[in-house]
Structure 1
């Protein structure tokens, strides 16, 4: 194309056309290196979204000292593998659905167990295989509370779905509070500042319904009761919906797939500290970088990065990273985490423990417990392999199955003997699984320093695979927009109205 004799205006126009999609970057160079600390679902999805935004020429390093997948894990019993960490994916989890499609993985529909609610003395509710019988029993015991509860949960989740529209349009948020405010305004923020029990009572639910139906769900999912915030309560209750699924072969395959798709370099090491350094450039100027100090099996080492993404909980038991020399000091205000012990037992359940001596007239399935049960476990139920299993294969297993028991403490041999007539295998996974929820929730910042970002702060609202993926994409978008000065894509609070005109 000949440009001789062209006016300055024409030359500028030509340059802008040649820039095309990169015009937003102006004259600033892209970052050279980005560090991601943690290779769980938050870290690997962050690397994946960072690659999408910053392009192929940025080096992305992921630091991990344990297994890829973090709190997504499987265990093996008698040649079969079972989910030991995050295990349930909701049909509305759009990032997780997108991941498995793009990575070529398969969804595995979850078997629906009948749920019985036990208060330590008797079953206060037992599900039937017949839908109509369940409807009659629920109305008899709780009126229309079940149907109202589904509407209450759907209203909260429907508003949360707006985040996918925002992210598809490249909008990001510099804090979790601003994200939740953009999703649903001040009313939505109140879901983080009040307890689930209080919120549901104000909405007309009886204390009996909360104690016998709502709390058992929370104990089975989060190991906590009705004093959690309302948003995490809604997330827990959504796990009772139909259409739940997992990833065939194990949910952690999403993490290994995202790591590969991001073309990030895996660094096997423990990050010890991060501090800001000033380095000279070839042009004689200076640039501020972050020095990441880490320990590998070969000893201590360090590398310099333009952007650092923290994708591990900043508590001393998990991610005890020191931020050195920052003024003001970096304070994450991370909440303490709740311990959950998952005990997997291959054996035959002792029905007499639940007041039904042999021959027992009912088949024990999934049992959730109330907060007043004073039992040594939160829930117990059969689990199934992470490979496809037919109904006929399940029925052949008779009464001997693999059971998963959730508890706050390790079970003793005496407690296992009380729960089981016989067993031949026991595997224990001890997790600091999620925060101890106690509203009002004081959420950690997303921006820890100018170019240091925190993915896991969103767990203060609710912990889950999809929540981590949502936060990871927000951090990727936020770091990109702040790097290139795209302030119009950050913390826009009129998005609900703007979407009506843009979509």
Structure 2
């Protein structure tokens, strides 16, 4: 039986031979095989003319933070689990690649828990919910909050035409300013400075959105990431049948890029002003490089090129089989609960397998800052069965007082996609960063831009 090290050696050799045997056209390296890296490979291969060779480096599984967890034979979303209907890049790619929408799960009531009691609970009736929210938060607060959110989404929509025209941005503030001159400041000011919203709305609605989407608090969060969180609370959200992880796999297949299952250790400038990448005692030269994974301090860059390491927010994801949430724990029957005050969890919600099947026993997903013990879980749930727990570096830690502009371009022909996460972390943000990298590569290498050809579902 071949050892894993032997297989990796073979793959490394194959990758090297593949690279040196390619003698025509440009060669681009993408470091990272998550949604941002695979989308970069897709845009590079399908929107640039002539088509460059693209090598994607990923030491772990393709998909990155779009991961799944298995419990009792069923798979559940571990990472990004929702897609907004106005996420044009995701929507277009899902349609182009022939992926399907997952059926909507049964309705579950959502309750807000302030650490002592349930302070608000929605219903299955939209009109009733609007009336209850208007009574609790004030009708003008609801109107002004929605107006600010829709204004922001309207400005954000401008990025699609901008990127379609081939614009390339060297840093995040330039990209944001192209959408709205107000956006850069929103990434460096506190959510608490949002105007015209009642204290109750900020504490409960805004607090709930930040806790469930980013595991963070309004006192630290920026205005920009706060409105992204609120957008994640709108209606019409959906997911991909079989799991959102299918998207990066489909992007990589459609890109027809070469996957190298190794970690790049060093990037240095070559004598011919290209880039020499080193991995597992192998090296090769590339005309351009795109880093599409969060910097963790282990990738060595050329001495005159620096990228800041952004701390990631650690969170525990617990999947638990249970007959129900213990009504005595919250003082009433509940299903989905979001903490809006001090509590050991951020959110508790019933989840469904990514293939749409119904498990024999209900499954709940918990987000929490600390790992909950079995004893705690058995006090919160009734008839606890199997439990799966994962520590997850899901998104950057946001602190408006320490936020600053971030650079996409680290050097000539070297870009860092994940700089865009300094504004907000989401699948669509990663795709915006990926398209920017492809546009920048076209400009740097003097390539033309074209529209990708439609892809037949049977080709994947």
- Give the equivalent residue in structure 1 for 2:308: 333
The alpha carbon displacement at 1:385 in A equals 1.3
- Give the equivalent residue in structure 1 for 2:19: none
2:169 is the counterpart of 1:173: yes
CA displacement, residues 282-316 of structure 1 (integer Å, 9 cap, x when unaligned): xxxxx222111112xxxx21111111110000123
The alpha carbon displacement at 1:98 in A equals 1.1
The alpha carbon displacement at 1:66 in A equals 0.6
SS in structure 2 of the partner of residue 157 of structure 1: helix
The alpha carbon displacement at 1:233 in A equals 0.7
Pairs within 5 Å for 1:303-314: 303-314=284-295
Of residues 415-424 and 468-477 in structure 1, the stretch that sits farther from structure 2 once superposed is 415-424
- Give the equivalent residue in structure 2 for 1:492: none
The alignment's TM-score, normalised by the length of structure 1, stands at 0.80
The alpha carbon displacement at 1:75 in A equals 1.5
- Give the equivalent residue in structure 2 for 1:387: 355
The alpha carbon displacement at 1:52 in A equals 2.3
- Cα distance in 2 between the residues matched to 1:290 and 1:172: 20
- Cα distance in 2 between the residues matched to 1:204 and 1:260: 48
The alpha carbon displacement at 1:485 in A equals 9.0
Q: Who wins on radius of gyration, i.e. which is larger?
A: 1
- Give the equivalent residue in structure 1 for 2:4: none
CA displacement, residues 101-136 of structure 1 (integer Å, 9 cap, x when unaligned): 111110125435321100111111011222232122
- Give the equivalent residue in structure 2 for 1:232: 225
Listed as ranges, the gaps of 5+ residues in structure 1 are 1-28, 279-286, 357-361, 487-503
2:393 is the counterpart of 1:432: yes
The alpha carbon displacement at 1:216 in A equals 1.3
Listed as ranges, the gaps of 5+ residues in structure 2 are 1-22, 449-460
Q: Is the 8 A contact 2:35 2:247 kept in 1?
A: yes
CA displacement, residues 296-346 of structure 1 (integer Å, 9 cap, x when unaligned): xxxx21111111110000123xxx20114x3x3x22123211011111001
- Give the equivalent residue in structure 2 for 1:20: none
Aligned with residue 35 of structure 2, among 41, 50, 61: 41
2:44 is the counterpart of 1:50: yes
SS in structure 1 of the partner of residue 410 of structure 2: strand
- Cα distance in 2 between the residues matched to 1:77 and 1:377: 21
- Cα distance in 1 between the residues matched to 2:169 and 2:104: 34
- Give the equivalent residue in structure 1 for 2:196: 204
CA displacement, residues 62-105 of structure 1 (integer Å, 9 cap, x when unaligned): 00011110000111222221111111100001111111111111
- Give the equivalent residue in structure 2 for 1:491: none
Q: Is the 8 A contact 1:334 1:457 kept in 2?
A: no
- Cα distance in 2 between the residues matched to 1:180 and 1:30: 36
Q: Is the 8 A contact 1:50 1:476 kept in 2?
A: yes
Aligned with residue 453 of structure 1, among 415, 430, 439: 415
Which ranges of 4 or more aligned residues in structure 1 deviate by more than 4 Å?
none
- Give the equivalent residue in structure 2 for 1:252: 245
Pairs within 5 Å for 1:396-435: 400-435=361-396
Pairs within 5 Å for 1:280-359: 287-295=272-280, 300-316=281-297, 320-324=298-302, 326=303, 328=304, 330-348=305-323, 349-356=325-332
Q: Is the 8 A contact 2:36 2:431 kept in 1?
A: yes
SS in structure 2 of the partner of residue 478 of structure 1: helix
- Give the equivalent residue in structure 2 for 1:146: 142
The alpha carbon displacement at 1:222 in A equals 0.1
Residues 54 and 131 (structure 1 numbering): CA distance in 2 closer, same or farther, change over 3 Å? closer
- Cα distance in 2 between the residues matched to 1:434 and 1:347: 28
Pairs within 5 Å for 1:36-185: 36-55=30-49, 57-111=51-105, 112-144=107-139, 145-185=141-181
Residues 249 and 139 (structure 1 numbering): CA distance in 2 closer, same or farther, change over 3 Å? same
The alignment's TM-score, normalised by the length of structure 2, stands at 0.88
Aligned with residue 445 of structure 2, among 471, 483, 493: 483
The alpha carbon displacement at 1:387 in A equals 1.8
- Cα distance in 1 between the residues matched to 2:288 and 2:24: 11
Of residues 345-354 and 43-52 in structure 1, the stretch that sits farther from structure 2 once superposed is 345-354
Of residues 128-137 and 114-123 in structure 1, the stretch that sits farther from structure 2 once superposed is 128-137
RMSD of aligned C-alpha atoms?
1.8
- Cα distance in 2 between the residues matched to 1:257 and 1:423: 36
- Cα distance in 2 between the residues matched to 1:382 and 1:388: 13
- Cα distance in 2 between the residues matched to 1:376 and 1:30: 57
Residues 30 and 188 (structure 1 numbering): CA distance in 2 closer, same or farther, change over 3 Å? farther
